[in-house]
Structure 1
Amino acid sequence: MTTRMTGAEFLADTLQGYGVSHVFLVPAVLSRTLYEMEARTSIGRIVAHGEKAAAYMADGYARASGKPGICMAQSVGAANLAAGLRDAYMACSPVIAITGGPYLHSRHKNQYQQIDDFPIFEPLTKYNARVDLPERIPEMIRQAFRVATTGRPGPVHLEFAGHAAEIEATECVFEVVVEERFSHVPAFRVHPEPAAVHAAAEVLANAERPIIVAGGGVRQSDAAAELVALAEKMGIPVATSMNAKDVIDGLHPLSVGVPGLYGRKSANLAVMEADVVFFVGSKTGSQLTSDWRVPAPGARVIHLDIDPEELGRHYSGALCLLGDAKVALGALMEVTDATAERRRSWVERVQRFVADWREGYAAALGSDAVPIRPERLCSELSQHLPSDAIVVSDTGHSGMWTGIYLDLKRGQSFVRCAGSLGWGLPAALGAQLAVPDRPVVMFSGDGGFYYHLAELETAARWGIGATLIVNNNRSLNQERYIFAPAYGGTLHGRHTELWHHRDIDFVAVAESLGATGIRVKKPGDFAAAVEQGIATPGPTVIDVVSDIDAMAPFSEGLTTAS
């Protein structure tokens, strides 16, 4: 049914129809739409302290819920918002960014605050389009949801005419049409070609030492159950990317951990010894493969993915299956025979890798050292996380500590930063708003936490009950990997200027911004702090005093960083 209404009224009704529960923004943009959201819908309007943080919040929301996250900024803040889409693009996260843009009548006339930011969005989005006419708003909004959720998901950008997107105020005859299919990921369940399924089944059946490497597509497809069932039926060990860390129980007898740059030695060894490597829902990028050294040259590769452009991209001669992970793994289950018994010796060898890894790190995982070892933090988290918790990990050392040492149980979730330090805090807030009934626990270093510290006030203002763990080693100590060689192999002189911070009490900072703060100096006190944080209404910062000299292993089992 068509109705005469303003673009603002149309946008509010349409976003509500798509199931959007929150939008994330820095004013002033779409001001009338924000009013109409209050007047006509139940959508929460989360005003952040920075555009980049707003984009990260929308990203965390999208990854936790599988629904597109919406972020907004006026024209003068568009470049900042674009910078915040980098992580969503790399992690294939469905985010819809809306900004104001130049007026048609004022381009190239030195209009106040006017710069053409539109090209900045090109490398950071799947779809980048201008909305210059109000009557095109419905078409472009539907296309934004369609592109964000189909194929390999990712961010899109719409630039509305007017610095604050004033085109929204125009009245037109609109029809609110909600295409429910595009309100979540995956939008389509693409079936692979039967011939490709049978070919993959034959290769897996004949392999002596196969291994599955699960990527983020398994998580987005909700295909964890199918993946584990196939692995158990055929006796195939499972490694996972960081984005798929939660698709198999960390203590499952077939689980070997995360391989690659941020990986466990057990996972790298297992993948290197495999004669067939089955990548499922993975872009096979440099982090997962340790710069394409894992698997070993000569290993047979099967590649299943929803994006035809990624299939076999880094492995010529790969057997390729185009399709949705859940559907394709289900199809493989139907045409494969049980081979687990025949692969007992291979599975036992891989289990030995895992056992040796745990043995080698037993002292660190159980360390009572003060300052606290990050391995012990991850061990405590593994034991004491609620059964339905979502862990949100920042990048750098935080990603390495959690990727290598954190074991998750089925039912728990893991969302990790794809490379933008400081992403963790705002992403955790977005995730918590997306799934308010589940506990969200962030893991970040103090270096990352500083980036968007002001968003603690946002969390307190909205009563967002995320538990925020800060591995506070008073430094950016991962930079030692970089600076030691630069200084000739031994750090000397004024090197600390480049990576040390002051010793800040984040409890005092948290309380000054309206959050709860807990400082932990002894490892035995950490579990109680996490329990208290999860039980406390509103945001809680757990300031953990940790060892500045603790360094996570890098590409363990392949090379040792200096």
Structure 2
Amino acid sequence: MPAKTSAPMNGARYIAESFDALGVTHVFFMDAILRPTLVEMESLGITRILAHSEKSAAYMADGYARVSGHVGVCMAQSVGAANLAAGLQDAYLHRAPVVALTGRKEPMLRYRNAYQEVDHTPLYQSVTKASMDVAEARELPHLLAQAFRMAVDGSPRPVHLDVNGLGGEVIERGEVPDAVLPEPVLGRLPVHRPIAARDAIAAAAERLMRAERPIMVIGAGAIQVDANAAILSLAERCNIPVATSLGGRTIIPTTHPLHVGTVGTYSAPPANRLVHEADLVIFVGCHAGDQPTNNYTVPAQGTAIIQIDLDGQEIGRNYPGVTPVWGCPRQAVTDLDAATTARSDWEAWAAHVGKVVKDWRADMEPLATSDVAPIRVERLCRAISDALPENGVLVADTGYSGIWTATMLDLPHPGQSYLRAAGSLGWAYPAALGAQCGAPERPVVCFSGDGAFYYHLSELETQRRWNIPVVTVINNNSGFGQGTPKVASFYEGRTGSPEEINRFGPTDFAAIARDFGVEGIRVEDPAELGPVLERAIAARKPVLIDVVTDIDPRAPEAWNPPAI
């Protein structure tokens, strides 16, 4: 389809019409940036979400992009550019398609001690694929399209456009003489991707057929290409167990007999142990960084590996000597399934894996059903698992929120999604608001610790203003629970105040929510968890549930291979 053309127009109208053509439904911003453009957006039906910080705006765009597959857009004026850049770290690490726009001072003010101005390009260098300067409005047709093209291509990641003018006003006032609008396909993750070569599939199938104990480790790259059905087909037909990174967590239901669990540093003990036992690991859409490989020890270096990835630069980066399959993970797994004949001994391997996981689950059951108060987090996780609808989206923060939800919270339905912070504490709440904007028909539940929620609790006002029906669950233990034992260990044999390092509160977040105009419910009795969650999710309105938990129970700890 030829690109849509229009008569010459000013930059403000061109940006707004381009976003509309690209399928952008929401923009997330911190005042004051592209104000005339925002006015034009209203006439086109684009929702403009004013946040309370640049990082919140970036996190919202990130959540929007992850759940929808469309490019998330965030914006800030020149003085907020550094804060916006910091907010892109999580999108970069998770590989989410985001386009960030910032204003910058006009050229005649550069290098002259301009008020509150620093060079933006270095700020964005490590958290984007590219940072491009837009000096004139006539550059918009090719630079705006290129930003979206780069954001979704290959490994999706953020792209930055630095537009002329403190709030972009130079670009907005300028004329776009050749107003060709971007192709709509650039606004979302691509449908058509490079196809893995037949000889690569044949080599992978031959390598798989020689294995006695194969296992798959699935990453976010498989989720992004909708490889769920392909992974499940290969797993079930060939009795190949499935482990995941946090980003790949819902590739198959977590209660499936072949689901091993999350592997790596944020895992329950069985997953690492079983991946370590395997004699062949098939990485699918997983870049095999230090977290999903338990610092490159699971699987052990030297283990036979097939690595399937859309980004050829990632194949063999951390595990040399792999059998490489470069191309669309969904198509590659489908072709590998068709080229593989299941071995009879794989059934016994799958049965062993299933028993190990089942036994561990049985050991955890008393904790997940415990009636003690303060409430155990295992019980909280079980209640959320039971209450989350079949099409629900769970958004989890980093640290202990990531570990608890990755190990003790089941997502048993194929239509459920799991979004997690790639490391930025406080990410989950703004990201959940963005995710709800990106998937308005799906119930979104945010799981956050109190330490994380403090970062962006001001966005309660944003949630109320836009009536965003996210249910936020606060695991409120009045401190940073993950580091409690380590801090205590540093005080062994000496007196002092360890609580000053990682304890705070107590705070009634339900009361704070009510002050912001959001329904707040405080839960101290574990028997109330299920009914409260079910009512809150069904209400489809902004709700915060403040759950008083015990800081002392430890989340499951990852299994480590024996030292050699």
Question: What is the TM-score with the length of structure 1 in the denominator?
Answer: 0.97
Counterparts of 1:492 and 1:540 in 2: how far apart (Å)? Answer: 42
Pick from 354, 362, 365: which aligns with 1:362? 365
Alignment of 1:385-404 (within 5 A): 385-404=388-407
Distance in 1 separating the partners of 2:396 and 2:71: 20
Residue in 2 aligned with 1:238? 242
Q: Is contact 1:10-1:174 (8 Å) kept?
A: no
Q: Which amino acid is 2:337 matched to?
A: M
1:428 is aligned to 432
Counterparts of 1:324 and 1:177 in 2: how far apart (Å)?
28
Aligned to 1:108: 111
* 8 Å contact kept, 1:484–1:491: no
Per-residue Cα deviation, 1:70-120 (whole angstroms, up to 9, x for no partner): 000000000000000000000000010000012111111122222222210
Structure 2 gap ranges (5+) = none
Q: What residue is the counterpart of 1:410 in the other structure?
A: 414
Contact 1:102 1:116 in 2 (8 A): no
SS of the residue corresponding to residue 313 of structure 1 reads: coil
User: Counterparts in 2 of 1:194-209, with a 5 A limit?
Assistant: 194-209=198-213
Identity %: 45
Q: Which residue of 1 aligns with 2:13?
A: 9
Letter in 2 for 1:342: D
1:300-449 equivalences under 5 Å are 300-339=304-343, 341-408=344-411, 409-449=413-453
Give 2:31's aligned amino acid: P
Taking a change above 3 Å as real, the CA distance of residues 492 and 246 of structure 1, as seen in their structure-2 partners, is farther
Alignment of 1:512 with 2:515, yes or no, is yes
Mapped partners of 2:353, 2:89: distance in 1: 36
Q: CA deviation at 1:204?
A: 1.1
Aligned counterpart, 1:146: 149
Question: How far apart are the structure 1 equivalents of 2:346 and 2:495?
Answer: 53
Return the alpha-carbon distance in structure 1 between the equivalents of residues 71 and 199 of structure 2. 34
Question: SS where residue 538 of structure 1 aligns?
Answer: coil
- Tell me the distance in 2 between the aligned counterparts of 1:552 and 1:176: 54
In the aligned structure 2, how far is the partner of 1:26 from the partner of 1:472? 29
- Once the two structures are overlaid, the 10-residue window that deviates more, 531-540 or 122-131, is 531-540
Checking the alignment, whether the CA contact within 8 Å between 1:457 and 1:514 is kept in structure 2 is yes
CA RMSD of aligned residues (A): 1.4
Residues 503-557 of structure 1, C-alpha deviation per residue, up to 9 Å, x if partnerless? 1111110000110111111112111111121123431000000001122133235
Structure 1 residue runs of 5 or longer lacking an equivalent are: none
Match of 2:187 among 183, 188, 194: 183
1:367 offset after TM fit, Å? 1.0
Assess if the C-alpha contact under 8 Å between 1:432 and 1:464 holds in 2.
yes
SS at match of 2:286: coil
Taking a change above 3 Å as real, the CA distance of residues 472 and 15 of structure 1, as seen in their structure-2 partners, is same
Match of 1:462 among 461, 466, 481: 466
Give a deviation string over 1:4-31, Cα, whole Å, max 9, x none: 1111101111101111110000011011
Q: Is 1:540 aligned with 2:543?
A: yes
Match of 2:160 among 137, 147, 157: 157
**SS, match of residue 380 in structure 2:** helix
When structure 1 is superposed on structure 2, of 533-542 and 425-434 the one drifting more is 533-542
Secondary structure of the structure 2 residue equivalent to 1:287 = coil
1:115-141 C-alpha deviation (Å, 9 max, x unpaired):
222210000001111001110011111
Which residue of structure 1 aligns with residue 32 of structure 2? 28
Alpha-carbon contact 1:221-1:326 (below 8 Å) kept: yes
Structure 2 CA distance for partners of 1:520 and 1:118, relative to 1, 3 Å? same
Structure 2 counterparts to residues 465-484 of structure 1, below 5 A: 465-484=469-488
Cα deviation digits, residues 288-330 of structure 1 (max 9, x gap):
0110110123310110111111101111111111011111111
Conserved? CA contact 1:71–1:98, under 8 Å: yes
Give the Cα separation in 1 of the matches to 2:210 and 2:227.
Answer: 24
| 1:243-322 matches, cutoff 5 A | 243-322=247-326
**Aligned-residue offset at 1:338:** 3.3
Number of aligned positions between the proteins: 557
Q: CA deviation at 1:187?
A: 5.2
Find the counterpart in structure 2 of residue 46 from structure 1.
49
